Amino acid sequence: MPGFRTTPLTSSARSHVVSQRRASALHPLPALLLCTAAVASMPAAAAGGCEANFAKNGSPFSGTQYTSYVTVDSLSPTDALSQMRGILIAEKMDVITEDPEGGTLLVEQRATATARAIPTMVTVTGKGAATKIDLMVRIDKGVLAKQDDIKRYMCELLAKVEGGEAGRLAATEGAKAQNAEFSAQKDAFLFSMEIAREAKANAVALNARHKGRSYTLSGKIDYIQQDGEDYNVSFDIPEMRDRALSPLPGQANFRVGVACLFRPNQLATVLTLREKQRVTFTGTFYRYDDFKKMAWLENCKQVR
C-alpha cells in the first residue's frame, strides 16, 4: 500500500478458574500505511506554510510526535473540522472521537497484521475570520518512520482544506462522511490476543476503536449462561499458565475472555449449542471491560 512506512525496531535497537471467568463474563450493567493525493496538486502557499511549520519531537525509543499547522482564511472552526473529517475518512481513516465544541478530531489508520494503528489528531482554533488547523501524528515507541514521508502525508492533507464558499460546501459533505464499514473473520483465540495487546497499550482507546465493528469469530464454546435478558456464549480461551509459549516482549501478560451475546429471539439457536462445540459466530463489538478482562460482541448469530 502506498504512503509512509513504519517499521518495528529490532531487539538489538532497543490466573482465573472457570467459575471466576463465568462471574466476570457477565456483560456490564448499564452503568501509516496511508493513501494520499499527489503532492503536485498541493497549492504552493499551503505546502510552504505546512512544511515551514513542520516539527518533530521524541525518538523511536520513547515515541515520536510530528506536528504542523496552517491557517485558512474565510473559514470557521466548525467548517474546518467537518472538512478534515471528510478528508481523513476519504483517506481510509476511522474517526475514533470528535468534539466539535472543543475543536478536536481523533482518527486512526486501521491496524493490520503488519501495521499498528496510527493516530492522527486534528485541532482547530478560530483566528478572527480565519481558522488555524493543527495536525499531529503520533508514532509509538519501537517503530521507525521516515520523516519526509510523514511531512508529505500531513501537508497533503492540510492542503485540501478550502476557505470561502467552497470550504462551506466541502464542510457540509465532510460532516456527512461515515467510517467505512468494517468486517473481519478471525480465530477467537487470536482475536483475544489482539484485544489484550491493545488493552495493554490503551484500554480506553480500544472501546472507541472497535465499537460497532463487525466480527466473525470461530472457536470452541467454553460455557453458556443467561445474562439478563441475553444469552452469553463464551469462547474457550486458554489461561496464560496453560499456553505453550510465554508472552513475547511487548505482548500482554494477561488473558482476555471473549463472549457473544445472543438476543432472546435467538434462544432456539442457543438451545442447540453445547460446551466444547466448535462454532462460528458473527456480531458487532459491544464493549471491553478492563477490570474483568472481557470483550463482548452483541447481536450475535451463528454462521453455519
Distance CA 92, CA 108 (A): 9
The answer to whether 236 and 220 have CB atoms below 8 angstroms apart is: yes
Instruction: Enter the C-alpha cell of residue 271.
Output: 438451545
- Comparing C-alpha atoms, which of 127, 195, 120 is closest to residue 153? 120
> What pLDDT is attached to residue 5?
56
SS3 category, 10: coil
Cα-Cα-Cα-Cα dihedral sign, residues 185, 194, 66, 86? positive
Q: Which three-class secondary structure state does DSSP give residue 118?
A: strand
Q: Which residues of 130-166 are buried (b: 16+ CB within 10 A; e: fewer)?
A: bbbbbbbbebbebbebeeebbbbbbbbbbbbbbbeee
Q: What's the CA gap between 231 and 259, in Å, rounded?
A: 10
> Which domains are assigned to the chain?
39-176 (3.30.310.80), 181-302 (2.40.50.140)
Residue 246's pLDDT is what? Answer: 76
Nearest in space to 84 (alpha carbons), one of 185, 2, 154: 154
pLDDT per residue as tens, the chain (304 positions): 334 556 555 444 444 434 555 555 554 433 343 333 333 344 433 445 899 999 999 887 888 999 999 999 999 999 999 999 999 999 888 888 899 999 999 998 876 656 677 889 999 999 999 999 999 998 887 777 888 999 999 999 999 999 999 999 999 999 998 887 777 899 999 999 989 988 888 888 888 888 888 999 999 999 999 999 999 999 999 998 888 777 777 678 899 999 999 999 999 999 999 999 999 999 999 999 999 999 999 999 999 8
- Distances in Å between the Cα of 121 and the Cα atoms of 52, 216, 268 are 19, 30, 46
Quick one: which H or E segment has residue 271?
A: helix 267-271
**For the whole model, what pTM was predicted?**
0.67
Which residue's C-alpha cell is 488473558? 255
DSSP string, 27-74: PPP---------GGGS-HHHHHHHHHH-EEEEETTTEEEEEEEEEESS
